[in-house]
Structure 1
Amino acid sequence: MTSFTKSVAKPRKSVGARRNPEAEAAVLAAARDLVSEKGYTGFSVEEVARRAGSGKTTIYRWYPTRADLFIAIYTAERHASVPVPDTGDLLDDLEQYTISLWRFWASHPAGAALKSLIAEAQGTTEALEALRHRFLPARTADVRQMLKKGAKRGQIREEDVDDKVSLWVGLSWLKLLVNELDQESSVRRLMAQIAGIRSTG
């Protein structure tokens, strides 16, 4: 994780609608540090801009809301920390993936920040739209793909994939919100119930 420095970065040149990779990297690094220090409730585009030496208008052009900016850093951090298994067995894939994700949520500031985003989405339209339309579709793609592969192998029915994704999200977010991410011994049994597959573990 990028170390935090209190000095303000020198302003970087804007390249209009195109994203300058150096400037965007600085913005995301500053955003990661800010989330680590203050969580989602203390997270602001203004402070990210100050730390990154970037203009607020540039950041808002790239990320229309602070929820969008958080989703960008959450996605990068989660992608690096949570591998997507492909064991050839749906239940094994779901178990390994879910345990990795729960460990990421429990150990990384992004986990606590996600709880705050979920909470904010209950009160603001912008956060709800970001969570529903930009966070969930992308962040459930891995589970959906695992389930679709399981359907091709005949382990589940393809028409049940959407419902099973919803069940998986509901269970995982419940564990996140009530701080039960350490209950790894129950994951295989719960995944078997969601998938409708008899567990032999």
Structure 2
Amino acid sequence: MNDDILPDGAPSPAPRRASIGARRNPASQAAILAAARAVLAEGGYAGFSIDAVSRLAGAGKPTIYRWWKTRADLLMDVYAAEKAAALQAPVTDDLAHDLTVYTGRLWDFWGSTPSGRTFRALIAEAQSNEGALETLRAKFLPERTQHLLMLFEKAAGRGEFAPAEVAMRLGLYIGFNWYYVLTDRLEEGRMAIAPAMRLIAAPSRP
């Protein structure tokens, strides 16, 4: 991939913004994330480059790399911002129901948005890129599963299963979703969502 090429049809580059060092300026950060979304929408994962984002945002590459160590770091933040805007987790006293509703919305997001469609490629890149793997493990997963952790903890608080089972059940939930997204079988797997969520949320036997 050539980092010197701006995707065809992308908006005109913004005026160059001055670097402000390691501290993130909210306006500059927003401009970079907006440019990253535009570049991703235009060229997809294969056509995404820091050079293109830099030119479109009017931000220097050193500034972008100071705030996001790798291309994967920036893409994960784009994904997080779009997901937060698009998805809301229901919170009721029925864990299986909440997980079923949320999972359907998550799969819709994966299939219908530029950042959602790149999720599989991001996970794949993390398998061969130590920096991307560390971001996935230490930052992306804890932040992106915080609301799900809350749902499982609430169920444990209601006595449906032991608190010690929360991490295991959350892992089962993540594994179910990643199995279908990584094998590109989201549509095929939709009928499995509700029964799988019932299994993952099933109360422990006394």
Q: Same fold (TM over 0.5)?
A: yes
CA distance in 1, matches of 2:23, 2:94: 42
Specify which of 99, 107, 114 is matched with residue 94 of structure 1.
Answer: 99
Scaled by the length of structure 2, what TM-score is found? 0.88
Q: Deviations over 1:1-40 (max 9, x none)?
A: xxx7442210123333332222111100110111122222
Please name the residue that 1:193 is paired with. 199
Q: Find the aligned partners of 1:63 and 1:31 in 2 and give their Cα distance.
A: 12
Is the CA contact (8 Å cut-off) linking 1:147 and 1:161 kept in structure 2? yes
Question: Residue 144 of structure 1: CA displacement?
Answer: 1.0
Q: 1:171: which partner in 2?
A: 176
Residue 156 of structure 1: how far off its partner (Å): 1.9
- Tell me the equivalent position of 1:21: 26
User: Which residue number corresponds to residue 70 of structure 2?
Assistant: 65
Match of 2:151 among 139, 146, 149: 146
* Preserved contact between residue 148 and residue 158 of structure 1 (Cα < 8 Å): yes
Match of 1:82 in 2: 87
Contact 1:31–1:48 (8 Å) recurs in 2: yes
2:80 is paired with a residue whose SS is helix
Under a length normalisation based on structure 1, what TM-score does the superposition of the two structures give? 0.90
Distance 1:154 1:185, change over 3 A: same
CA shift at 1:181, angstroms? 1.9
Q: Figure out how many residues of one structure are paired with residues of the other and give that number.
A: 195
Q: Deviations over 1:78-123 (max 9, x none)?
A: 0111101111211111111111111110111212211111111111
Shift of residue 186, structure 1, vs aligned partner: 2.4
Post-superposition Cα deviations, 1:141-168, rounded to whole Å, max 9, x if no partner, equal 1211110000001122210111111111
Distance 1:145 1:51 in 2: 38
Aligned: 1:162 with 2:167: yes
What is the distance in 1 between the residues matched to 2:97 and 2:11?
Answer: 45
Q: State the identity %.
A: 45
Give the drift of 1:177: 1.6
Q: Report the CA distance between 1:197 and its aligned residue.
A: 4.2
Alignment equivalent of 1:135, drawn from 128, 133, 140: 140
Instruction: List alignment gaps of at least 5 residues for structure 1.
Output: none
Runs of 4+ in 1 over 4 A off after TM superposition: none
Q: Tell me the equivalent position of 1:12.
A: 17
Counterpart AA for 1:19: R
Measure, in 1, the Cα distance between the counterparts of 2:66 and 2:30.
Answer: 15
* Structure 2: tracts of 5 or more residues without a match: 1-8
